[in-house]
């Protein structure tokens, strides 16, 4: 009998901790606006903003869902931001055009800043991807936001991912 009460207390603590962890994990996939001194972007529901990211990235967001069959090792969508020092927009655009299979290119002005959006195709481990890049320049730095989705991604997830690309603005 002396082991029953501590055992019940331990089980109750484990249930409480498990519920708390599950709630926190679910909250991480809720929509949010990421707003810092460099940029703003709207993260939709179903996507996770990685906090302990690769040092070469300033932002890393990926979808909750994975691909199917041969694409099961890949997230359906991923958004990454890199900032390159001492580069120009023209140089960065040309480098991307030479290193990827660009299918379209559009320039636009937003709040007095020139943005270039490139669309490209790629294949990794036999799996097809659609890539979109949004580039702009500020203070001698180039901001490169890259959106990568599986070719056969669900249109709802793709639309949410593309909304991040649209909402991205450099301050």
Q: pLDDT tens digits for 36-55?
A: 999 999 999 999 998 877 88
Q: 15 pLDDT exceeds 70?
A: no
Q: Which residue has the higher pLDDT, 88 or 12?
A: 88
Question: Are 65 and 15 contained in the same domain?
Answer: no
Percent of the chain topping pLDDT 70 = 84
25 and 44 in a common domain = no
State whether 19 and 37 are in the same domain. no
Is the model's pLDDT at 26 over the cut of 60?
Answer: no
Please tell me the distance from the alpha carbon of residue 130 to that of residue 149, in angstroms, as a whole number.
Answer: 5
Domain check: are 25 and 56 in the same one? Answer: no
Domain count for the chain, please give it: 2
Pair 3, 62 in one domain: no
Is 120 found in the same domain as 101?
yes
Residues 142 and 59 in one domain: yes
Question: Taking Cα atoms as reference points, which of 33, 113, 124, 108 lies closest to residue 71?
Answer: 124
Check pLDDT > 90 for residue 23: no
Residue range 67-72: mean pLDDT, rounded: 88
Q: If you average pLDDT over every residue of the chain, what do you get?
A: 87
pLDDT average, residue stretch 49-64: 88
Percent of the chain with pLDDT over 90: 59
Domain residue limits at 19 = 1-29
Range 4-30 average pLDDT: 66
Bigger pLDDT: 52 vs 73: 73
Contact 147, 127 (CB under 8 A): no
Q: Could you tell me if 6 and 43 lie in one domain? A: no
Same domain, 17 and 80: no
Determine the Cα–Cα distance for residues 142 and 129; give it in Å rounded to an integer. 24
Residue 125 sits in the same domain as residue 79: yes
Radius of gyration of the chain (CA): 20
Q: Which two tokens stand for residue 103?
A: 């299918």
pLDDT at 27: 65
DSSP 147-167: EEEETT--HHHHHHHHHHHHH
| Rounded Cα–Cα distance for residues 49 and 60 (Å) | 6
Instruction: Compute the average pLDDT of residues 8-37.
Output: 72
H/E element holding 68?
Answer: none
CATH no. for residue 150?
3.40.1000.10
Residues 69 and 124 in one domain: yes
Lowest mean pLDDT among 6-20, 105-119, 121-135, 150-164: 6-20
Same structural domain, 84 and 131: yes
Model pLDDT, residue 8: 62
Q: Which ranges in the chain belong to alpha helices (H)?
A: 4-28, 89-99, 155-167
């Amino acid at each position: 009998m002396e082991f029953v009460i501590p055992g019940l207390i331990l089980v109750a603590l484990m249930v409480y901790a498990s519920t708390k962890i599950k709630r926190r994990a679910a909250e991480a996939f809720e929509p949010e606006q990421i707003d810092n001194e460099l940029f703003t972007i709207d993260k939709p529901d179903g996507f996770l903003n990685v906090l302990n990211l690769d040092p070469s990235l300033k932002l890393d967001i990926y979808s909750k869902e994975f691909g199917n069959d041969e694409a099961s090792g890949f997230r359906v969508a991923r958004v990454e931001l890199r900032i390159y020092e001492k580069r120009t927009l023209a140089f960065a655009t040309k480098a991307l055009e030479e290193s990827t299979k660009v299918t379209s290119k559009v320039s636009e002005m937003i709040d007095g800043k020139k943005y270039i959006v490139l669309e490209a195709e790629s294949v990794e481990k036999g799996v097809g991807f659609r890539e979109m890049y949004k580039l702009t320049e500020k203070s001698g730095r180039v901001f490169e936001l890259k959106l990568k989705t599986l070719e056969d991604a669900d249109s709802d997830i793709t639309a949410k991912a593309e909304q991040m690309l649209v909402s991205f603005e450099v301050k």
